[in-house]
Structure 1
Amino acid sequence: MSKPEVRARARASAVQADLHYQPSYPPIERGASLLLAWRLDGRRVLLIGGGAVAASRLGFLLQSGAHVTIVSPGPLEPSIAYRVATEPDHITWHDRSYGSSEGGNVSADDELPVGDYDMVLTAVDDVALSRAVCLAAREARTPVNVADVPPECDFYFGAQVRRGPLQAMVSTSGAGPKIAVIVRDLVADAIPDNVEDAIDGVGKLRTELRERAPGVGGELSKRRMRWMIGTCDAWTLGEMGAMKDEGVRKRLLDDGWEKNKVLGPEAVGVGSGLSARATKALHGAAGLWAAGAGGLVTGAAIATLATLYFVRR
């Protein structure tokens, strides 16, 4: 056996030995969607349809800052008509049908080709037209969503809840939209009323910390991340709202960050409460207890009630 072959076998044996001592990792479960927060501010979106389903899409698109081109003959669904009248800088409406469904071909609509947009959505009853739009969009590499036809969707909307900057989405990858809505409502009920204050306070603290310790990567960046995580673990959501106060943030940075310490709320004069770590532990315990209480929805409901009890005290 040649020396290169000996070295190759030695390396293979070393790799196998390393794998033998690695901890067991969970199996990969295929079939999930990649959940992302997609930034559409200033992007162009084509929305084909002017009914109730299109209306449900339009609100999300406008909240994201997109410019929406709507193609649909009037009369429009009332909420869409209202948005067209009150959001002229963000909506362009073409009072006509899109393309042609003859032979499933949309090429006739040369005025508004799908490739000119960053995203395309159809919400019409014309199955042939929707399929043709989907094929044209995929050929143009434009992400497309065909309402109520999961195989012809590159992305799903899911069931969403928003509290200021906080957004949460529950998705079943199009398999059970009603289940997603039920779980979404449970999640929404479990979110503390003052979560916006917590996000505002932590966001300001994080910004001021980055001003004191700028940069990406390296030991300083790692230390900054560890300190922020430790600080958030030491505060409950209800207490984090106090970080909106400039004096509280200054004490956390001067007496905490600068001295390499994590300070809890009591250390800076904020009222004490159940620790964030304890709340998380109780939440996890409630979820495990609820799992045997009779299925997904029942278990989630019990876990939510337990979480609400502990978080809102």
Structure 2
Amino acid sequence: MKGPYPEIQGGGSLILAWQVRNKKVLVVGGGEVAAGRIVNVLNADARVTVVSPREGLNEEVAYRVEQKQVEFIDRKFEPADLDGVDMVLTAVDDAEASTQIYKLCHERRIAANIADVPPECDFYFGSVHRDGPLQIMVSTNGNGPKLANIVRRQIANTLPHNIGTAVTRVGMLRRKLRKVAPTPAEGPKRMQWMSKVCEQWTLDELCDMTEEDMEMLLGFYEPGNVPTLEAVRLYQPDGAYDGPFLI
């Protein structure tokens, strides 16, 4: 008999948005896989160090080094490279060396991802679609990275073209709302009101919302109303209004 709560499926991963801004990430290796890992963590504003003999760098990683987007150590990995590191990503064609690095990370309680060796990964990289602040990740839990990429592209093709801009506008409104209602006690009301805005306004309306519109809209927060965008633009600061009924 099916219970009243979600069934536990097991075998999955805890998918999180890991904040690594200003964290120190060590990348061991300089080939194609390392290049992809570097982009991922640089996009998350991490401080990246790459350890690899210079002759092992592909063109993209060499470019990151030349542009000083990463710190570069021109040699093979040494245990001392783990000092002060928050995360380790290895991408080298040496299974024995990779396993040794993983064991060292495990001893030091440093989260590590050993490329193409799922049992020696504390976390996996998924296939990510990015549109401004919007990120959507598809993971196969290490079973089929290429398939994850195919699924991600199919999902991305179904998304509205303006979804990233809409998310940016909603983020701006949310930050302004926190200034209007900053206390923890206002939390539930803030969330409920923002939910109404997202549900009642179309993506096009959210994209078209200007900062002036936001300031006007925030005037309806206290009574808990969410007027239409048209109503917001007809509303006057002195309270005069000649337009559609407010929702």
TM-score interval (norm. to shorter): 0.7 to 0.9
Amino acid corresponding to residue 257 of structure 1 in structure 2: Y
Amino acid at match of 1:138: H
Structure 2's unaligned 5+ residue stretches are 235-247
User: Is the CA contact (8 Å cut-off) linking 2:30 and 2:52 kept in structure 1?
Assistant: yes
Superposed, 1:223-302 pairs within 5 Å as 223-243=189-209, 245-254=210-219, 256-269=220-233
Structure 1 letter corresponding to 2:177: L
1:33 shift after superposition: 0.8
CA contact (8 A) 2:132 2:168 kept: no
**Identity over aligned residues, as a percent?**
45
Deviation readout 1:243-281 (Å, 9 max, x if unpaired): 2x1221122122x213321223343359xxxxxxxxxxx
Aligned residue number for residue 295 of structure 1: none
Partners of 1:61 and 1:83 lie apart in 2 by 13
2:153 corresponds to which residue?
Answer: 185
Amino acid at match of 1:111: A
Offset of residue 44 of structure 1: 0.9
Contact 1:159 1:184 in 2 (8 A): yes
The equivalent residue for 2:34 is 54
Contact 1:160 1:184 in 2 (8 A): yes
Within-5 A mapping of 1:70-219: 70-75=50-55, 76-86=57-67, 88=68, 90-98=69-77, 109-112=78-81, 114-216=82-184, 218=185
> For 1:167-219, what per-residue CA distance to the aligned partner results, in whole angstroms no more than 9, with x for missing partners?
11100110111221111101221222222321222112111211111112x3x
CA distance in 1, matches of 2:71, 2:178: 40
Structure 1 counterpart of 2:41, one-letter code: L
Q: Is the 8 A contact 1:234 1:265 kept in 2?
A: no
Instruction: Tell me the SS of whatever aligns to 2:80.
Output: coil
CA RMSD of aligned residues (A): 1.7
Larger Rg: 1
* Residue 37 (str. 1) matches residue 1 (str. 2): no
Task: Please identify runs of 4+ aligned residues in structure 1 that moved more than 6 A.
Answer: none
- Whose helix proportion is higher, 1 or 2? 1
User: Which residue of structure 2 aligns with residue 288 of structure 1?
Assistant: none
Aligned length: 231
Partner SS for 1:96: coil
Deviation at 1:165, TM superposition (A): 1.2
Distance in structure 2 (CA, Å) of the matches to 1:207 and 1:64: 21
Q: Secondary structure at the match of 2:165?
A: helix
Question: Aligned partners of 2:18, 2:158: CA distance in 1, in Å?
Answer: 25
The 8 Å contact of residues 192 and 238 in structure 1, kept in 2 or not, is answered as no
Question: CA-to-partner distance for each residue in 1:95-123, whole Å, 9 max, x for gaps?
Answer: 1122xxxxxxxxxx2431x2531001110
Aligned amino acid, residue 235 of structure 1: W
Whole-angstrom CA distance in 2 between matches of 1:191 and 1:269: 28
What TM-score, normalized to structure 2? 0.88
For residue 31 of structure 1, give the secondary structure of its aligned residue in structure 2. Answer: coil
